């Protein structure tokens, strides 16, 4: 009594839906990054020095599930240093591709505007869930240890034989890869086939036996999180991205500090500083881990010869 009657809601103007992305943002970043360090990181990598005079460029093998963006990551690295969009590694733009677009092993030297940099990225056939599809774990392991020659065409049904012309029986130190990078799609990390995870575990176990460092590059973060899609700088305050990284770590066994979420170049026609910083930060970790492993290989070889 005496109060004003409540106003009926206007059915033609529904209540606005809450922005669900706000629920995904944490108050403080779970990993800190300096978004202004692009030139510093770039210069450091351009001046990078390999710790062995017999190795002109450190090789890094890039593996991963089909469609995750292996080739796009290799191109994105070159984009950063060239300052423009490049296509050294031919990438597939098809959505939901069922088979790997990359068929042969290709080594791509990272290049800046002033020339070659002292590291190379090896692109291989993508991993597929089915046992007889995509690259075989044995071929990836052989490639890491330098037994696979450039242009070898992967056979999904049979690993490379030591009788093949593409098999290198006595690889040099410079033929070997000193870091293995898994490229994983952030959108599918939660429902990755168990059979594919098993393949990754086989590779990881064989590499770990010889101390090969392993890093995960988690791509397509802008498609996996609405918050990050609006602002890439929200990547380390995104609860969703953090959770996906944890799933990655649990499934594959790579520690969180070796997992780097980022965005590859795909639709852009110009480079972007924020995209570049995430790529450079990942690459800086990768090449330094590889250089550390090369130093260890030198020490073990010297010890064996004495």
Average pLDDT, the chain: 85
pTM: 0.85
Give the closest residue to 243 by CA, choosing from 258, 230, 262, 224: 224
Q: How far apart are CA 177 and CA 129, in angstroms?
A: 24
Residue 193: the pLDDT is 55
Which helix or strand (DSSP H or E) is residue 275 part of? Answer: helix 273-305
Give Cβ neighbours of residue 27 (< 8 Å, ≥ 6 apart): 237
Higher pLDDT, 34 or 103: 34
Higher pLDDT, 65 or 39: 39
Is residue 215 within 8 A of residue 221, CB to CB? The reply is: no
Domains of the chain as residue ranges with CATH: 56-305 (3.40.50.300)
Q: How far apart are CA 188 and CA 208, in angstroms?
A: 25
Give the closest residue to 147 by CA, choosing from 176, 114, 118: 176
Cβ count within 10 A of residue 161: 9
Show the DSSP H helices in 6-124 as ranges: 38-46, 70-82
132 pLDDT higher than 50: no
Which helix or strand (DSSP H or E) is residue 184 part of? Answer: strand 177-185
3-class DSSP assignment, residue 29: coil
Is residue 289 within 8 A of residue 282, CB to CB? The reply is: no
Q: What are phi and psi of 60, to 5 degrees?
A: -125, 125
Per-residue b/e over 281-295, b at no fewer than 16 CB within 10 Å?
bbbbbbbbbbbebbe
For residue range 279-300, what is the model confidence (pLDDT) as tens digits? 999 999 999 999 999 988 766 5
For residue range 179-192, what is the model confidence (pLDDT) as tens digits? 999 999 998 887 66
Q: Which of 156-165, 194-203, 239-248 has the lowest mean pLDDT?
A: 194-203
For residue range 3-13, what is the model confidence (pLDDT) as tens digits? 555 444 454 55
Which residue has 């953090």 as its token pair? Answer: 242
Which residue has 């774990």 as its token pair? Answer: 137
Long-range residue pairs from 14-17, CB within 8 A, at least 24 positions apart, any chain? none
Residue 130: the pLDDT is 53
């Amino acid at each position: 009594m005496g109060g004003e009657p409540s106003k009926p809601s206007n059915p033609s103007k529904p209540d606005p839906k809450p922005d669900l992305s706000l629920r995904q943002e944490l108050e403080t970043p779970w990993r800190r990054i300096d978004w202004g360090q692009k030139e510093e990181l770039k210069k450091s990598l351009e001046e990078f020095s390999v710790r062995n005079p017999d190795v002109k460029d450190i090789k890094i093998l890039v593996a991963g599930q089909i469609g995750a963006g292996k080739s796009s990551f290799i191109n994105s690295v070159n984009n950063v240093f060239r300052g423009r969009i490049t296509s050294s590694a031919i990438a597939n733009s098809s959505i939901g591709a069922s088979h790997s677009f990359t068929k042969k092993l290709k080594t791509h030297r990272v290049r800046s505007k002033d020339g070659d940099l002292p590291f190379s990225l090896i692109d291989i056939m993508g991993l597929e869930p089915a046992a007889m599809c995509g690259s075989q774990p044995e071929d990836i392991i052989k490639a890491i240890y330098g037994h696979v020659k450039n242009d070898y065409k992967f056979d999904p049904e049979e690993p490379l034989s030591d009788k093949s012309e593409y098999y290198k029986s006595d690889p040099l130190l410079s033929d070997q890869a000193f870091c293995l990078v898994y490229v994983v799609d952030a959108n599918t990390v939660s429902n990755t086939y168990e059979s594919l995870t098993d393949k990754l575990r086989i590779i990881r176990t064989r590499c770990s036996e010889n101390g090969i460092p392993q890093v995960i590059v988690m791509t397509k973060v802008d498609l996996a999180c609405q918050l990050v899609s609006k602002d890439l700088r929200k990547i380390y305050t995104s609860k969703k991205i953090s959770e996906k990284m944890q799933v990655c770590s649990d499934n594959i066994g790579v520690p969180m500090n070796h997992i780097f979420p980022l965005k590859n170049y795909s639709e852009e026609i110009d480079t972007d500083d924020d995209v570049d910083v995430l790529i450079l930060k990942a690459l800086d970790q990768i090449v330094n881990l590889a250089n550390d492993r090369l130093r260890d290989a030198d020490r073990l070889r010297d010890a064996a010869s004495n």
